Structure 1
Amino acid sequence: MLETSAFYRNDARDSDGSISLSEVISALSFALDLTEGAVWGHALRSCLLGMRIADEIRLPQEKRSSLYFALLLKDVGWSSNASRMCRIVGDDHVVKAGPIDRIARIMGFGGIIGIGLTEYGNNEEIIGLRCDRGASIVTKLGLGIDTAEAVRSLDEHWDGDGYPDSLKGEQISLLARICAVAQHLDVFSAGRGIQAAMNTLVERSGTWFDPELVRVAVSLHRRGTLWANCLSTDSQDDTRLAVLDMDGGRRHRLEAGRIDQICEAFADVVDAKSHFTFRHSMGVADAAYGIARGMGLAPDRVQLVRRAALLHDIGKLSVSNSILDKKTQLNEMEWKAVQQHPGLTRQILERVGPFREMAVIAGEHHEKLDGSGYPNRLLAPELSLESRIIAVADVYGALSEDRPYRAGLEFEQIIAIMSKLVPRQLDGACFDALVSLMRHTPKVAPGSYSSDAQAERSLAAVEVAA
């Protein structure tokens, strides 16, 4: 369970209602932890560890901001690997500890033998994709070349036996070398304890890690100044507050356009997890935006709806691709995993004070007017117009897109199916606005179904999901 109370207290220092980049990115970093099944707060703890090493080596001030955001976003490209990792090891939720270690911790030594002959190729493909994708997203966020390069070079090794470019020694960005040490310390301390983390760090000095950075980490550890708020058992609130204090809450104040840019970038992260959800978040956002405008909502409410729609599925990063890409019916445990994602979306977004209303709206996208939805089985009087808009847009998006068990449907089929959910589950006025929008901006869904029986089966699937 995520903790939230301290963050609300922290909001008081932003009395002008503005919002900082560090506040948003540190909150959304929890979504990146979901992607690989890391222990909650992995990115935050890595940030504290890395920045303490940077302080000790007196990293120039102009580099500190780049390192700060590289540490928080180092895993932003990981969702691009999810389907491939799932095919290799059966579960894409693997903790970061280097390619072999990640897989070993899930499969054990016997599993390693099974993929040993292809390990090098798998590493090269998986890490290369993650590196390039991560650097691309960081660039899209406007965080600069140093941050992008640190994210891209995270898995390079000091001895040249890393990825994606087999860089060696000081050819590797200093920021990337710090990130590598920091993430190792957190993963191993969370899984095996602090002493094991330090022992393994020393063992890999000169092979995986920069010997000077290892020396600095060991010195900080011996002086008792490395691990404050950096244990997996420490309060997440305290850890995040310590991370925010490093930025001071005074830099990187965000304008509205920059917030939209961040929402779009993280929507891309979510949609990259499965090729069945490619551009789903953006598609839902476009539909929700059109519905909101068509219903005459004020511009600030239209903007709120679009942002909530972009991030409505961020909690779905917690769902394994073995479930998302499954071609057969989900079992009870798998459905429970799916049904947790709206609540996780809300918990992640509400960690940003000004996002609290957005968090509620985004977290209600699977609720239905008759109380048959999830996660809270809310009824019509409890659901805002904005929540109803996104629910309609999400059902439309789901039916128009390919899924593992069917192709996307044609527009007229989608409307026929959705009309049977109005007004019992879906809001009639929002549905009418969607139909008007789509008829004025025709958009042919990539479907191949044509029979009424097939449409009925799709309707049944929607009702089961609800």
Structure 2
Amino acid sequence: MKISLDKTIRAMAIALDLAEISSVKDSTIIEDISNINFSNHNYLNHSKRTTYISLKLGEQLNFSEIFMKELYISSLLHDIGASNFLKESHTSNTFILDHCKNGSRIIENLPLFTNISPIILYHHENFDGSGAMGLKGDEIPIASQIIRLADLVELLYDENFTSHKQRSKIISWVKINSNFIFSENLVNTFLCIAEKDIFWFDIENISFMDFILDNISPSLDIYLDLYEFEKIAYILASIIDNKSSFTAKHSKGIADLACMVSHHMGYPEEKCLEIKIAGLLHDIGKLAIPNSILDKNGQLTKDEFSVIKSHVYYTKIILDRIEDIKDISEWASNHHEKLNATGYPRKLDRFTISEESRILCVCDIYQALTEDRPYRNGLNSERAFAILNGMIDEGLICEHSVKELKDTLKENTY
């Protein structure tokens, strides 16, 4: 199996934007600089628009092809460390430091591109040395400087207004911060691209016209094998599991369990790895769910449960962006479907739920039942299987899959 790195990075960026949207619902985000409040900003297109601005700056500065590829990936993933920390205000130096350090650490495991980590680490530094880590001037990687400017310009942009009504204000703000947040050279570069109407038209329309970013993006004709893609799945699983105090190691636990069951059932090695990856990614849609709901220590309201149910919808939206993993996307997003068509989000039935999806569903339930949660201790295996057997009697889950899980656990220490 060959999986497009470009489409994988784009899917990751969508997931991160959804995470920021859910996080701002739980916090007030204010940058220290100029007391700008970003709490009402629409983050759905944040990574895409930031990347476009970064690439336009890099293009104007005539950087090399490899630099542009690194800038492209770094811009799309610049907030990869933020999803676990956005509950804190942007005014907090702790937030800035943790956001950057966490993102740098996470991205170290990205296959093929090994120079991204320091770019992410320093993308919040100010040119005059007043940033969180105190780097000054040319000590800051130029790619980090570019992302810093692009990020703030995007945050200043308001999708509720046409671009011509705000371009002058944004340009003036960038000028004012020359030799403070940004270098004079980078400001002048921005002024060159910002004087062209097409730049602002692209900024305005990029949210629903993917080809705008496609046309400027460097060629990333790189394909991952399944083992390389697994490394990225682990990156995303760490972000998912760390988002909520209720789900630490949940995705990794399900992945290991589903892989063990698959081996026990005699599936080929490649399919076992695919099911493992589906387990790692099955809850990626929870990045779109506010922590106030995920971490609620009590019964959810009807409205809150409706929001929770949407996570599997977002899982499929994100994973379907990677066209090369259709089976993985299907299995991952079906883990709450039930054989009697009472599950969600598609109300599939026993005739349309695959064996792989049934396995993942059963492993998800068992893992959740046996995990410690803040409001209860994990159940022992006997009690967990009693609940699973009750669900079989109700026609909800697959009896054969439960048997295979039980037999697998008898043969392995889990």
Same fold (TM over 0.5): yes
Alignment of 1:185 onto 2:153? yes
- Which structure 2 segments of 5+ residues have no match? 22-41
Checking the alignment, whether the CA contact within 8 Å between 2:3 and 2:325 is kept in structure 1 is: no
Aligned to 2:56: 52
User: CA separation of 1:405/1:417 partners in 2, compared to 1, >3 Å: closer, same or farther?
Assistant: same
Q: After superposition, give the CA deviation of every residue in 1:119-147 in whole Å (9 maximum; x if it has no partner).
A: xxxx2222222211111111111455531
Q: Identity percentage over the alignment?
A: 29
Alignment of 1:264 onto 2:234? yes
Aligned to 1:344: 314
Alignment of 1:139 onto 2:108? yes
Q: Distance in 1 between the 2:345 and 2:209 partners?
A: 24
CA RMSD of aligned residues (A): 2.1
Aligned to 2:401: 430
User: CA separation of 1:325/1:132 partners in 2, compared to 1, >3 Å: closer, same or farther?
Assistant: same
User: CA separation of 1:336/1:232 partners in 2, compared to 1, >3 Å: closer, same or farther?
Assistant: farther
- 1:385 maps to which of 355, 358, 362: 355
Aligned to 2:179: 206
Checking the alignment, whether the CA contact within 8 Å between 1:23 and 1:249 is kept in structure 2 is: no
Q: Distance in 2 between the 1:397 and 1:144 partners?
A: 34
Alignment of 1:35 onto 2:9? no
Q: Distance in 2 between the 1:240 and 1:411 partners?
A: 50
- 1:172 maps to which of 132, 137, 140: 140
User: CA separation of 1:57/1:399 partners in 2, compared to 1, >3 Å: closer, same or farther?
Assistant: same
Q: Distance in 1 between the 2:410 and 2:403 partners?
A: 11
Alignment of 1:149 onto 2:112? no
Aligned to 2:37: none
Question: How far is 1:361 from its partner?
Answer: 1.6
Q: Distance in 1 between the 2:56 and 2:218 partners?
A: 13
Report how many residues are paired.
388
Q: Distance in 2 between the 1:72 and 1:363 partners?
A: 24
Q: Distance in 1 between the 2:15 and 2:196 partners?
A: 33
User: CA separation of 1:232/1:205 partners in 2, compared to 1, >3 Å: closer, same or farther?
Assistant: farther
Q: After superposition, give the CA deviation of every residue in 1:415-463 in whole Å (9 maximum; x if it has no partner).
A: 22222111511111111111122222233xxxxxxxxxxxxxxxxxxxx
User: CA separation of 1:138/1:402 partners in 2, compared to 1, >3 Å: closer, same or farther?
Assistant: same
Q: After superposition, give the CA deviation of every residue in 1:289-319 in whole Å (9 maximum; x if it has no partner).
A: 1112222223332222112111111110011
Q: After superposition, give the CA deviation of every residue in 1:249-290 in whole Å (9 maximum; x if it has no partner).
A: 42x322222111111111111112123211111111111111
Task: Give secondary structure in 2 for the equivalent of 1:75.
Answer: coil
User: CA separation of 1:159/1:345 partners in 2, compared to 1, >3 Å: closer, same or farther?
Assistant: same
Q: After superposition, give the CA deviation of every residue in 1:353-406 in whole Å (9 maximum; x if it has no partner).
A: 112232222111111111221112221111111111111111112112222432
User: CA separation of 1:321/1:66 partners in 2, compared to 1, >3 Å: closer, same or farther?
Assistant: same
- 2:191 maps to which of 218, 224, 231: 218
Q: Distance in 2 between the 1:241 and 1:144 partners?
A: 20
Question: How far is 1:222 from its partner?
Answer: 0.4
- Which structure 1 segments of 5+ residues have no match? 1-16, 90-98, 101-122, 444-466
- 2:413 maps to which of 442, 447, 466: 442
Q: State the AA in 2 paired with 1:397.
A: Q
Task: Give secondary structure in 2 for the equivalent of 1:442.
Answer: coil
TM-score (norm 1): 0.78
User: CA separation of 1:232/1:411 partners in 2, compared to 1, >3 Å: closer, same or farther?
Assistant: farther
Alignment of 1:231 onto 2:199? no
Checking the alignment, whether the CA contact within 8 Å between 1:281 and 1:312 is kept in structure 2 is: yes
Q: After superposition, give the CA deviation of every residue in 1:103-134 in whole Å (9 maximum; x if it has no partner).
A: xxxxxxxxxxxxxxxxxxxx222222221111
Question: How far is 1:152 from its partner?
Answer: 0.9
Alignment of 1:69 onto 2:73? yes
Q: State the AA in 1 paired with 2:184.
A: P
Q: Distance in 1 between the 2:324 and 2:210 partners?
A: 17
Question: How far is 1:234 from its partner?
Answer: 3.7
Alignment of 1:367 onto 2:337? yes
